[in-house]
Amino acid sequence: MTQTMPTLLDLAELKQLVRTVPDFPKDGIQFRDITTLIGSGPGFSSTIGHLAQQASERGAQAIAGMEARGFIFGAAVAARLGLPFISVRKPGKLPVPTIGVDYALEYGTDRLEIDPDSVHGDQRVVIVDDLIATGGTAEAAVKLLRMAGGTVEHALFVIDLPDLGGSQLLDHAGISVASLMQFEGD
Ligand code: AMP
C-alpha cells in the first residue's frame, strides 16, 4: 500500500486542534491539552514539520526533550531530521550514573537528570517541549545540557503562555525561544 504525504496545516489550523480544559489540574488553570493535536494525523505531522524546519534553521546537531510530553515532539523532530535525541528524564529513571538539576515548582521542587554521555562534545543542542509556562523546566534542562558540555542557545515549543514570562527567563539565560502558537492568560 502506498502512503501519501499528509497535508501541511498552517499554524492557525494547528492552534484550533489544541483542546482547552478549564480548571485542570486545579481551579483557575486553563489546561492546554495537546492530546487532540497529536490525535490528528495531519495535526501531528504538521507540528513536527514546523518544529523540524525551525530546529534545522537553528543549526541543530541534536534535539533534547523533557519527559514526558517533550519526548513526543522532540523525538519525532529528531527522527525527521536524522539527528540524535537526548532524553531529559525525571529522577531515578536512567540505569547509569547521571547528572541532575533541581528546580523550583509553584509548590516544592522537582529534578531533571541526563546521562552525561548522551551529549557529544560541544554539539549544538536544540530543546523541544510541548509548552513553556514559567520557563522553570526548560531553564533546568538548559543548565543540565550545558553541564554535559552541550552548546545550548535555542528552545522550541509548540505552545507559549507569554503572560507567565518563560521566554524572558530563558532570554536571561542566553536562550532564544520560538513557539508555534501562543495563548493569553495562564
Ligand atoms: P514551566 O516549567 O512552568 O514552563 O512548565 C512547563 C510544563 O508544565 C510544560 O511542559 C507543560 O507540560 C506543563 N504546563 C504548565 N502549564 C500548563 C498549562 N496551562 N497547560 C498545559 N500544560 C501546562
**What pTM value is reported for the model?**
0.96
Nearest CA to 99 out of 107, 110, 111 is that of 111
In short, whether 166's Cβ falls inside 6 Å of ligand 1 is yes
In short, whether 169's Cβ falls inside 6 Å of ligand 1 is no
Q: Tell me, what's the pLDDT at 1?
A: 54
Neighbouring CB atoms inside 10 A of 119's CB total 24
Q: Tell me, what's the pLDDT at 105?
A: 85
Query: Ligand 1 atom 19: the closest Cα is on which residue?
Result: 31
Atom of ligand 1 nearest to the CA of 31: 20
CB 116 within 8 Å of CB 94: no
Residue-wise pLDDT tens digits, 112-140: 999 999 999 999 999 999 999 999 999 99
- The overall average pLDDT reported for the chain is 96
**Residue 2's pLDDT band (cuts 50, 70, 90):** low
Class of domain 48-182: alpha beta
What is the arithmetic mean of pLDDT over 61-79? 98
Question: In percent, how much of the chain has pLDDT > 90?
Answer: 93
CB 45 within 8 Å of CB 17: no
C-alpha angle with apex 40: 39 to 44, nearest 5 degrees?
A: 90
Cα(131) to ligand 1 centroid in Å equals 6
Q: Which residue has the higher pLDDT, 45 or 4?
A: 45
**Sign of the dihedral through C-alpha 67, 82, 126, 56:** negative
**Residue 79's pLDDT band (cuts 50, 70, 90):** very high
Residue-wise pLDDT tens digits, 149-180: 999 999 999 999 999 999 999 999 999 999 99
Q: Tell me, what's the pLDDT at 185?
A: 85
Atom of ligand 1 nearest to the CA of 186: 19
Residue-wise pLDDT tens digits, 24-51: 999 999 999 999 999 999 999 999 999 9
In short, whether 32's Cβ falls inside 6 Å of ligand 1 is yes
Based on its alpha-carbon atoms, the radius of gyration of the chain, rounded to whole angstroms, reads: 16
CB 87 within 8 Å of CB 102: no
Q: Is the pLDDT of residue 64 over 60?
A: yes
Cα(65) to ligand 1 centroid in Å equals 14
Task: Choose one of 129, 137, 169, 171 to mutate for the ligand 1 pocket test, by most ligand atoms within 8 angstroms of C-beta.
Answer: 137
